[in-house]
């Protein structure tokens, strides 16, 4: 396919998958149960953090996290005492366990009390064209208080070669806005043009088959390469093609 044909093909796939039916089988259903901005963004962050492995298990365990937070994550984050975190004992999703979750809640309180919230931290450090510098600075801020070393691995850092798939997915959910009803678009300070595709095994393999990506590893360099290709197709909303790449890989075995 030439560029025009590829764009037409992918645009059609975006329409096919970027609709409310997508929510029912996707982890984004967890923040969709909430209505307050801060609840949505905290639920998005926590859900995206455990978004690897079996999707049903991701949704089940994200739902468990929301129950532990009384289904009011912002209220819990802001008002919790250290002893309240004991209820997390026994929680585990693959390598993310209760110790990690306890720190995440503690760090989120620091973000909201001392750094004006998640959106402000990301917005403060965006470059003219990318969210990747902001992800690096967010990780520094997130771990700026005393933390267990084991928990560092649960937030990707582009400066250390990570494609930061889970943070980029959260950013798509919170920043991107269209009429399809999947992504929230509640962060108004950041344009969708700066977003990057959540690069994983599925989207990476499809991107390579379509000639959008040559690099074999799914790392920060590959993400930069994919960013360039997708922004050539749609400079204002490049990350909409995540729906196409993910849908082709997961639902069609492309």
Q: DSSP readout, 49-118?
A: HT--S-HHHHHHHHHHHHHHTTT-HHHHHHH--GGGGGGGTT-EETTEEHHHHHHHHHHHHHHHHHSS-H
Q: Are 120 and 111 in contact (CB under 8 A)?
A: no
Residue 97, beta-bridge partner list: 92
Q: Which one, of 84, 47, 49, lies nearest residue 66 by Cα? A: 47
- Asked if pLDDT for residue 150 goes beyond 90, the answer is yes
Range of the domain at 111: 3-250
What is the per-residue pLDDT across 62-97, written as a single tens digit (0 to 9) for each? 999 999 999 999 999 999 999 999 999 999 999 999
Q: Mean of the pLDDT values across residues 211-226?
A: 97
Query: DSSP secondary structure string, 151-218?
Result: GGGGS--GGGT---HHHHHHHHHHH---SSSSS----TTS-GGG------HHHHHHHHHTTS---SS-
Q: Are 238 and 197 in contact (CB under 8 A)?
A: yes
State how far the Cα of 195 lies from the Cα of 176, in Å rounded to an integer: 8
Q: Which residues are within 8 A (CB) of 98 and not within 5 positions of it... i.e. 6 or more apart? A: 88, 89, 90, 91, 92
% of the chain residues with pLDDT over 90: 96
Identify the DSSP state of 121: H
Identify the DSSP state of 143: T
- Asked if pLDDT for residue 254 goes beyond 90, the answer is no
Identify the DSSP state of 134: H
Straight-line distance from the first to the last Cα atom of the chain, in angstroms, rounded to the nearest whole number? 15
Q: Are 168 and 206 in contact (CB under 8 A)?
A: no
% of the chain residues with pLDDT over 70: 100
Torsion over CA: 215, 221, 225, 226 (sign): positive
Q: How many domains does the chain have?
A: 1
Instruction: Specify the pLDDT at position 1.
Output: 82
Structure tokens at 136: 């690096």
Q: Compute φ and ψ for 93, nearest 5 degrees.
A: -135, 105
State how far the Cα of 30 lies from the Cα of 51, in Å rounded to an integer: 12
Torsion angle, CA of 17/35/99/82, rounded to 10 degrees?
Answer: 180
Q: Is 115 exposed, middle or buried (0-12, 13-18, 19+ CB in 10 A)?
A: middle
pTM: 0.96
Instruction: Specify the pLDDT at position 53.
Output: 86
């Amino acid at each position: 396919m030439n560029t025009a044909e590829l764009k037409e093909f992918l645009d059609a796939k975006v329409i096919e998958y970027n609709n409310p039916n997508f929510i029912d089988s996707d982890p984004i259903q967890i923040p969709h149960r909430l209505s307050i901005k801060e609840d949505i963004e905290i639920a998005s962050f926590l859900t995206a953090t455990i978004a690897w492995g079996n999707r049903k298990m991701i949704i089940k365990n994200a739902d468990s996290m929301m129950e532990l937070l009384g289904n009011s994550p912002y209220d819990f984050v802001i008002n919790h005492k250290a002893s309240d975190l004991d209820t997390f004992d026994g929680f585990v999703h693959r390598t993310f366990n209760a110790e990690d979750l306890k720190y995440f809640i503690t760090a989120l309180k620091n973000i909201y009390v001392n750094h004006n919230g998640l959106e402000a931290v990301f917005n403060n450090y965006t470059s003219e064209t990318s969210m990747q510098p902001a992800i690096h600075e967010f990780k520094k801020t997130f771990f700026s208080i005393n933390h267990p070393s084991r928990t560092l691995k649960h937030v990707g850092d582009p400066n250390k070669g990570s494609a930061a798939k889970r943070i980029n997915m959260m950013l798509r959910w919170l920043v991107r806005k269209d009429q399809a009803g999947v992504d929230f678009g509640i962060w108004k300070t950041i344009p969708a043009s700066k977003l990057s595709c959540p690069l994983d095994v599925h989207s990476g393999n499809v991107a390579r088959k379509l000639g959008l990506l040559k690099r074999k590893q799914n790392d920060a360099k590959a993400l930069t390469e994919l960013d360039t290709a997708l922004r050539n197709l749609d400079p204002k909303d490049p990350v909409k093609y995540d729906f196409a790449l993910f849908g082709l890989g997961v639902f069609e075995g492309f």
